[in-house]
Amino acid sequence: MINKNPTKTNAWKKLQIHYNNYMKHIHMNEIFSKDLYRFEKYSIQFNEIFVDYSKNIIVDETLDLLLELAKELDLKSAIESMFIGEEINQTENRAVLHTACRNLSNNPIKIDNKDIMLEIKSVLKKMEFFSEKIRNSEIKGFSGKTIDTLINIGIGGSDLGPCMVTEALKFYSNNKIKLFFVSNIDGSHIYETLKKIDPETSLFIISSKTFTTFETLTNANTAKNWFLESAKNKDYISKHFIAVTTNIDEAVNFGINKENIFIFWDFICGRFSLWSAIGLSISCYIGFDNFKKLLRGAHEMDLHFRNEALNKNIPIILALIGIWYNNFFKTETEAIFPYDQYLHKFPDYFQQCNMESNGKYIDRDKLELNYQTGPIIWGGTGTNGQHAFFQLIHQGTKIIPADFLVPIEPLNNIYDHHKILLSNFFAQTEALMTGICKEDALKEMQKKGFDNETIQKILPYNIFKGNRPSNSILYKKLTPENLGSLIAMYEHKIFVQGYIWNIYSFDQWGVELGKKLALKILPKIQNYDNNLNLHPSTNALINKYKSMKQDS
C-alpha cells in the first residue's frame, strides 16, 4: 500500500484547478442539456442492482481525474492487499478479512501460512446446526420448555449489524422466534426488554469480541441475575446463555459452556462483523439458508469490487464522487435515504461503519492531516424524511449529497402504496437536481390564481436553486442476496475513501479515551472515591449531580 498525502498527487492538483475554473459554479441542468447520453454513461448495472450517478455535479473530465487519482495511488493493489490478508490494519498488526467470512468460492486465504477458511467453514457449520435446532424448536430451557426468544446483548458492530439485517429481512423470518437487541448501558433498555420475555424460554447471546466491553458485560450480568431469580441454579446458565467472542476464557468464567461459544477472530473488525458468528442472531431469525444467501450477495459484490475495471466499479465510483464533494465542495455530510421501511436501520448502521472507520485526523505516516476525511453520515426512510428534514436539503445553505435506495418490487404489495412511494422517490431526486427558477415559479403561482400582492410577498420562497446531487440505487427486490450486495458495496466505498485519504480505516482508537475516563469517573459517582482530581468543569458537574441527587 502506498502511504501518500493525496493532496500532493498530480491528480489532486488537477482536480482542484478543474473545480476552481469550471465546476465550482456549474449547474447540473446545464450539464444534462449538453450531454444527451449522460444517463447511459453514468450508470452501472450489477446483478439486480442498478446505480444511477448521473445526477452529480461531475463531467467526463471530473471522472477521468478522479480515476487518475485512484490510479496514481495504486488503489487496485491496495484492494488486493486487503483480500489476500496483508496486515493493512497496521496500528493493530492485523489483517482485515471480513470478506473471508463470505468467501463462498472457498479459495484458500492464508494468515501466517495457515488457511483461515478451514476455521471459518467450521464456525459456519456450527452456526447452521445451532440456528436450525432453534428454528425447529429442538432446544429446551432449564424447565423443559422450548426456547423461542433470543436476546442479543452487544454494542456497536455487535449490535448494529445484526439488528439492521434482521429488521431488513424480517419478511423472511418464520415468525416463531422472538428477537430482541440490548445495547445501551442505560438500564431502561434491558429493563424494558426483560419485562417482555420469559426466563424459561429465553436465550441470551452475549456478543462481544473481547468479552470485556463494559456496557455489554454490565447488561449481560444484569440478565444473568434476572435469570437466576427464576432458575435459582447457576448450572442452568449454560442452557440460557451463549457467547460470540474471541475470548473463550472470559466467556467460560461468565458461566457459558465451551460448546456454546462461537468464536470469531482478530482479523474481523467489529463494525464489519455481521458476516461472522456475530450474525448468529440473523441466522437463527431468518434461517441459515437465507443467511448464506446474504453472504453470497456480499461475495458477489466482493468479486465485482476486486475484479471490475475502475470506471465500471460501483464502490470505487461512489467513493470517488464522495471524495469530490467532501474535499473540493467541502460538503461535510452525506445522507442515505432508503425508500423501503425494512431498511429503516440502514442509515444508522452505516453511520457507525463510516464515521468510526474514517473519522481520523492522523495519516498512515503518523502526520496530522491538512484535509478533510470522513463525512458525517445520517439519513432516514422516505417518505418520512420528506416531512422531517428535506426542507434543509432543498432550500438550505448546505449542499448535502444523498443516496436514494428503492426496490422495484415491494415485499408487501398493498393497493397503490408502492407506486406512490416510487413517485416520491423519482420526484425528490429530480426536484433536488433541477429546482425551480423564478420565472417558472411565477408562472406556477399565476396558474394557481394568486393575486399580484400575494405573488410579490411569497415568490422568493417558492424558488428552488436545485443543483443538489444524488445517487439513485434501484434493486429488484429486498432479498438476502441483494441486501448482502448493498452492504458490501458501502463497506468497500468506505475502504476506498479511507485508503485515498491515507488513513487507517480499521482501527478505532478514538473510542477508547471516553471509555477510560468513564472507568476513572465511575468510583467517584459511586462515592467510593471523593477525591475529584478531574478537570474543574467535570469536578463541578459531578458535585452538582451529587447535590441534586441528595435533594431528590
- Please, are residues 181 and 244 in contact by the beta-carbon 8 Å criterion? no
Helices then strands, counting H and E runs in the chain, come out as 22, 13
- Please, are residues 243 and 211 in contact by the beta-carbon 8 Å criterion? yes
Q: Which of 356, 394, 492, 524 is catalytic?
A: 356
Report whether the peptide linkage leading into residue 383 is cis, meaning its omega lies within 30 degrees of zero: yes
Distance CA 179, CA 201 (A): 12
Q: DSSP letters along 182-218, please?
A: E--SSHHHHHHHHTT--TTTEEEEEE-SSS--HHHHH
Q: Which cell numbers hold the place of 91? A: 496500528
Q: Which of 71, 110, 438, 515 is catalytic?
A: 515
Secondary structure, 3-state, 72-115: HCCHHHHHHHHHCCCCCECCCCECCCHHHHHCCCCCCCEECCEE
Q: Which of 8, 232, 366, 387 is catalytic?
A: 387
Which residues, 6+ apart, have CB-to-CB distance to 330 below 8 Å?
Answer: 372
Distance CA 395, CA 294 (A): 39
Q: Which residue has the cell 408487501?
A: 412
- Please, are residues 356 and 507 in contact by the beta-carbon 8 Å criterion? no
User: Any catalytic annotation for residue 387?
Assistant: yes
Distance CA 405, CA 477 (A): 11
Tell me the pairing of strands 149-153 and 178-182: parallel
DSSP state of 42: T
Buried-exposed string 176-189: b where 16+ CB fall within 10 A, e elsewhere: ebbbbbbbeeeeeb
User: Any catalytic annotation for residue 356?
Assistant: yes
Residues in a beta bridge with 152: 181, 205
Which residues, 6+ apart, have CB-to-CB distance to 251 below 8 Å?
Answer: 206, 211, 243, 245, 261
User: Any catalytic annotation for residue 258?
Assistant: no
CA distances from 269 to 50, 104, 243, 312, 439 (A): 29, 19, 17, 28, 54
Distance CA 393, CA 433 (A): 11
Q: DSSP letters along 474-486, please?
A: EESS--HHHHHHH
Distance CA 242, CA 204 (A): 6
CA distances from 208 to 93, 157, 194, 244, 286 (A): 20, 9, 20, 6, 22
Q: Which residue has the cell 488457511?
A: 115
- Please, are residues 329 and 154 in contact by the beta-carbon 8 Å criterion? no
- Please, are residues 65 and 11 in contact by the beta-carbon 8 Å criterion? yes
Positions annotated as catalytic residues are 356, 387, 515
